[in-house]
Amino acid sequence: MIVEHLSGVTFGSVVTGVNLEELDEQTWYELHDLWVDRALLIFPEAWITPEGQDNFARRFGDLEFPRTAISNIGKEGILHHENNDDVVKVLRGNEGWHHDSTYMPTQAKGAVFSAEVVTESGGATGWADMRAAFDALEEGIRSRVSAMNAYHSYYYSQGRDGYLPNEQNDDGTYNYYGFHDHAVSLRPLVKSHPDTGRDNLIIGRHAHNIVGMDPAESEKFLDELNVFACQGSRVYHHDWSPGDVVVWDNRRLMHQATPYDMTEPRRMWHTRIAGDPLTETAINHL
């Protein structure tokens, strides 16, 4: 196994010389320790199989959901590209910085992501280090945000950006993942990582309505915090090649999609790793 840390950023490593579908126990333990330390592992042109991707993800924990296409390629190869198309709305929403499933009762632990079809340009995926962002805050702000809680909702984030689906169910939900009818999840803005004990910001596009703060003031505060967090050496963007595989720690990193020409086909595959209910459940769902 050959490991090369990403240069100029506070996290992430490129790993070669391993077969993700035939890991011996020693190699797995080394990979897991590296993942906890570096939060993002990139396996260039690893070409993992569908079953192999889910099996690799299961080494990290139970699955929130198995391998699912993140793609503008529809039935019979028809491309979704019109702005008012519901598939496009989901894809465009992913361009905002976020942690996965903070809007669910239990936040995701991480994800395995692989590339099958990529575009000529654009479509990079970015990650941002929320541990380094917390450490970089001025002491007064650090103390202040450590006492704050905010709600997280997919209705809020998609609605704010104008990406709610076209058709709504009678109960107010939509037929896409994340539009549930449970209580809106409440989470601290700062959370200790269960494996490292280090504090991380938990923010992103789904976060809103900080408890005890005027909604408009809360929105402005969170927007400024997101901008501060996602810059400089805390951010890395990966340009995909077919066959690339990555796994990231959703408890430490936020991520974002970046725009691409949706008249070109793109197909990525996402397996989401479920969070531990003991550590990743929202305050109001305990």
The per-residue pLDDT for range 224-270, each reduced to its tens digit, is 999 999 999 999 999 999 999 999 999 999 999 999 999 999 999 99
Architecture of domain 2-275: 4-Layer Sandwich (3.60)
Are the beta carbons of 239 and 98 closer than 8 angstroms?
no
- Tens of pLDDT, residues 136-150: 999 999 999 999 999
191 three-class SS = strand
**Cα–Cα distance between 189 and 151 in angstroms, integer?**
10
* The 253-257 sheet, strands edge to edge: 235-238, 125-129, 253-257
Residue 7 CB: number of other CB atoms within 10 A? 8
Are the beta carbons of 59 and 28 closer than 8 angstroms?
yes
Low-confidence stretches of the chain (pLDDT < 50) are: none
**Cα–Cα distance between 88 and 108 in angstroms, integer?**
23
SS3 content of the chain, % helix, strand, coil (to 5): 30, 25, 45
Q: Write down the pLDDT at residue 116.
A: 98
Nearest to 231 by CA among 129, 98, 135: 129
Whole-structure pTM value: 0.97
Are the beta carbons of 41 and 153 closer than 8 angstroms?
no
Q: Write down the pLDDT at residue 239.
A: 98
Q: Write down the pLDDT at residue 29.
A: 97
State both tokens at 84: 């008012």
4 three-class SS = strand
Contacts of 121 (CB under 8 A, 6+ apart): 260, 261
Q: Write down the pLDDT at residue 20.
A: 98
Q: Write down the pLDDT at residue 21.
A: 97
Q: Write down the pLDDT at residue 186.
A: 98
Place of tokens 């499933």: 101
DSSP structure class, residue 79: B
